[in-house]
């Protein structure tokens, strides 16, 4: 077989493959739920109901989507420049770390000064964490996929060390857990009585800003050029290594905001289970969004919906919660295939 580009794809060509991919994902999930003894035809309904069926559910989905928007943006920015940042998990924890270091009383400021400081501090920390693999890449040509992956493990151990050492909460009854943030360091809710914190607002603003950077600034133009064709970029004089470093700083900073937002908006302290893999899931979000920063918001809502909905469905019918992860993995693999098939036709020869 051979792939042949389609010059002017029809509407059916561009819409059908992704639809089929989503439907197949649902079918796979239903069959797996059946294995666990559930009624396969109830699965889709229960997921939708669990994710968006009530105000509580919808808000839960939005809250769940917030860190995913940040990590999704982080990955989208990096992948756009073909910097394979698989280390958003470590950068997220770096952001969370700075938030608890500075937000537990070290800076006795009001919220108006403290929160922006924490956010910027977190971004800086995340940026530094990705800077190391980025420098190894441009200096020594070390593949950043492996280094960022390995950094996730190293950094989590580092956090664990701090939580059992200098950052340990004396009142934590022996749990590896940091002290709680002071009230001024907590992100307020977006509206009175609404269980949605300002981290979500910050995520939306970030998505818009990233879009502006990519489309309207020279840096964004350079990032896209470096990602699409590094040789051509170098030939025309774009400082490729510099652009990769800037990309890494931005990407790391965005991932770190997820950590800041989770600690300051939701948890209030740092533990080792702060992120159930938000960094890795960010890759799925970014890929489903075709690396478009605005679409990242939609993709994050979709992914969060699957998590929240599948959680609730699993509880309702008694299937293991790992079904959500299976659905996401399936959706990711089928979706990248589907997107290819919107632009290429398969020719047998």
- Footprint of another protein (CB under 8 A): 1-4, 7, 32, 35-36, 84, 86, 136, 140-143, 145-147, 149-154, 157-158, 160-161, 164-165, 216-221, 224-225, 228-229, 231-238, 280, 283-284, 287, 320, 322-323, 325-326, 328-330, 332-333, 336-337, 340, 347, 349
Query: How far is it, in rounded angstroms, from Cα 239 to Cα 99?
Result: 33
CB closer to another protein, 113 vs 346: 346
Smallest gap from Cβ 10 to another protein, in A, equals 14
Asked if 327 and 44 touch (Cβ cutoff 8 Å), the reply is no
Smallest gap from Cβ 202 to another protein, in A, equals 23
CB neighbours (10 Å) of residue 339? 17
CB closer to another protein, 50 vs 199: 50
CB closer to another protein, 106 vs 143: 143
Smallest gap from Cβ 115 to another protein, in A, equals 27
Q: List 347's β-bridge partners, or say none.
A: 2
CB closer to another protein, 264 vs 311: 311
* Angle made by CA atoms 262, 257, 309, in degrees to the nearest 5: 45
Smallest gap from Cβ 26 to another protein, in A, equals 16
CB closer to another protein, 58 vs 326: 326
CB closer to another protein, 82 vs 189: 82
Asked if 85 and 148 touch (Cβ cutoff 8 Å), the reply is yes
Query: How far is it, in rounded angstroms, from Cα 343 to Cα 227?
Result: 20
Rounded to 10 degrees, what is the CA torsion of 186, 188, 194, 195? -20
CB closer to another protein, 41 vs 235: 235
**Could you tell me the two tokens for 180?**
């709680």
3-class secondary structure per residue, 88-121: HHHHHHHHHHHHHHHHCCCCCCCHHHHHHHHHHH
Query: How far is it, in rounded angstroms, from Cα 96 to Cα 269?
Result: 9
φ, ψ of residue 273 to 5 degrees: the values are: -105, 30
Q: List 178's β-bridge partners, or say none.
A: 168
CB closer to another protein, 195 vs 345: 345
Smallest gap from Cβ 307 to another protein, in A, equals 12
Query: How far is it, in rounded angstroms, from Cα 131 to Cα 125?
Result: 10
CB neighbours (10 Å) of residue 56? 9
Smallest gap from Cβ 82 to another protein, in A, equals 10
């Amino acid at each position: 077989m051979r792939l042949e580009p389609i010059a002017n794809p029809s509407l059916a060509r561009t819409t059908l493959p992704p639809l089929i991919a989503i439907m197949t994902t649902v079918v796979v999930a239903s069959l797996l739920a059946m294995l666990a003894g559930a009624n396969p035809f109830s699965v889709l309904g229960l997921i939708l109901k669990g994710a968006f069926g009530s105000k509580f559910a919808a808000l839960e989905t939005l809250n769940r989507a917030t860190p995913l928007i940040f990590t999704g943006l982080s990955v989208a920015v990096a992948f756009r420049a073909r910097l394979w940042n698989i280390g958003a998990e470590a950068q997220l924890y770096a952001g969370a770390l700075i938030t608890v270091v500075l937000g537990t009383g070290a800076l006795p400021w009001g919220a108006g000064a403290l929160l922006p400081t924490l956010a910027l501090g977190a971004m800086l920390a995340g940026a530094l964490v990705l800077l190391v693999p980025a420098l190894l890449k441009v200096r020594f040509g070390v593949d950043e996929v492996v280094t960022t992956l390995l950094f996730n493990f190293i950094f989590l151990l580092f956090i664990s060390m701090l939580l059992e050492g200098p950052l340990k909460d004396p009142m934590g009854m022996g749990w590896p857990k940091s002290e709680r943030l002071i009230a001024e360091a907590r992100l307020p809710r977006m509206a009175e009585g609404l269980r949605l914190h300002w981290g979500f607002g910050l995520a939306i603003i970030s998505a818009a800003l990233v879009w502006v950077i990519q489309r309207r600034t020279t840096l964004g133009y350079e990032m896209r050029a470096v990602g699409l064709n590094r040789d051509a970029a170098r030939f025309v004089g774009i400082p490729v290594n510099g652009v990769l470093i800037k990309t890494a700083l931005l990407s790391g900073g965005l991932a770190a905001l997820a950590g800041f937002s989770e600690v300051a908006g939701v948890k209030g302290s740092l533990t080792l289970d702060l992120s159930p893999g938000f960094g890795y899931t960010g890759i799925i979000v970014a890929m489903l969004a075709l690396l478009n920063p605005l679409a990242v918001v939609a993709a994050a809502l979709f992914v969060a919906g699957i998590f929240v909905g599948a959680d609730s469905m699993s509880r309702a019918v008694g299937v293991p919660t790992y079904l959500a992860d299976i659905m996401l993995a399936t959706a990711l693999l089928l979706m990248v295939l589907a997107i290819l098939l919107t632009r290429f036709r398969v020719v047998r020869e």
